[in-house]
């Protein structure tokens, strides 16, 4: 069943009232013209859909924080928040993607940092470093190594990043941590260790809370 995301209820309600009135007015003039407001309403509803999902990951696995398409898998010699070598998986969220963001693993939120910036195309690997963004640093439950960063990144059209968690909050894998309105980007940054496996590549479709992006070595 499809549900409307709580972050989009105002927009869907507004679209229902405005586009409904337009559809009624158009039907009095030329009934096929009423189809256009109906199509626009469906597009608004589809953007703010929020399907219920059950997340199941094995020990050491990290699930996708967002729906979309993998744009890049980038090894980093050093990531400041991770504190050493890391690997970043970038995900482009198009206008037809589900825009809810989810925790990649169980853990505790260490920090939440919002940073103003520009609005480059969210497909660009540079967008995470230059665009307006919100970064969540998570301390994963043992034995998963950490910390782990999830970054919500605004795009050309995105102008509002919503985050529902705060430092100290405990989250489960797949827990809904926020939402980005309109086309945008999400990034998962994890420590790059001997045995780290990234299970996706550029061009792969992924689904938040369902697709396993990476696997980390853990003590048996």
Catalytic residue among 64, 124, 133, 184: 184
Terminal CA-CA length for the chain: 39
Q: How far is residue 26's CA from residue 36's CA, in Å, rounded to a whole number?
A: 9
Contact, 120 vs 133, CB < 8 A? no
Please give the structure tokens belonging to residue 186.
Answer: 């999400």
Nearest to 208 by CA among 6, 62, 2: 62
Q: Is the peptide bond before 143 cis (omega within 30 degrees of 0)?
A: yes
Please give the structure tokens belonging to residue 124.
Answer: 């660009």
Please give the structure tokens belonging to residue 33.
Answer: 């013209």
Strand partners of residue 137: 111, 149
Assess whether 184 carries a catalytic annotation.
yes
Active-site residues: which are they? 184
């Amino acid at each position: 069943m499809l549900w409307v995301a709580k972050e989009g209820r105002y927009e869907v309600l507004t679209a229902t009232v405005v586009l409904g009135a337009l559809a009624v007015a158009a039907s009095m003039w030329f009934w096929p013209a009423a189809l256009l407001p109906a199509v626009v309403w469906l597009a608004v509803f589809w953007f703010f859909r929020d399907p219920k999902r059950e997340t199941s990951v094995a020990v050491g696995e990290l699930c996708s924080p967002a729906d979309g398409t993998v744009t890049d898998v980038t090894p980093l010699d050093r990531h400041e928040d991770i504190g050493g070598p890391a690997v970043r998986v970038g995900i482009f969220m198009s206008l037809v993607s589900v825009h809810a963001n989810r925790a990649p693993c169980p853990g505790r939120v260490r920090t939440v940092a919002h940073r103003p910036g520009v609005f480059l195309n969210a497909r660009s690997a540079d967008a995470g470093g230059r665009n307006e963004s919100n970064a969540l640093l998570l301390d994963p439950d043992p034995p998963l190594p950490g910390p782990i960063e999830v970054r919500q990144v605004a795009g050309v059209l995105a102008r509002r990043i919503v985050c529902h968690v705060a430092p100290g909050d405990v989250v489960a894998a797949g827990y809904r941590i926020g939402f980005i309105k309109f086309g945008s980007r999400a990034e998962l940054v994890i420590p790059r260790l001997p045995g780290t496996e990234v299970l996706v590549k550029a061009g792969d479709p992924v689904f938040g809370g369902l697709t396993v992006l990476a696997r980390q070595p853990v003590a048996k």
